[in-house]
Amino acid sequence: MPDENQKNDEEFQQLLYRLADGTLDKSEAELLESLLIDQPERQALYLEYMWLDSSLIELGALAIVLLNSTLVAHEENILFHSAY
């Protein structure tokens, strides 16, 4: 049977996932905050997870910009060659 600390760690991870996907409600945010108090390991994990999440969002945005640029360049190339 899991001990209280393990249960809190699992709950903490679930709350982090909900925070990252934007589904964390106010009571869950308060619970997450309480699970971070005086818990340096959880605080470090929280910062790492949030950094990773924001980096993935930025990477996704960059991929979209690059894909759009490639598509525009390809369309311009087609238009240029079809004009001649």
pLDDT in tens, 22-72: 999 999 999 999 999 999 999 999 999 999 888 877 777 777 777 777 776
Is residue 14 predicted with pLDDT exceeding 60?
yes
User: Which residues, other chains included, contact 8 with Cβ-Cβ below 8 Å and sequence gap of 6+?
Assistant: 35
pLDDT in tens, 46-60: 999 999 888 877 777
Quote the number of domains for the chain.
Answer: 1
Per-residue model confidence (pLDDT) at position 83: 58
Model's pTM, two decimal places? 0.61
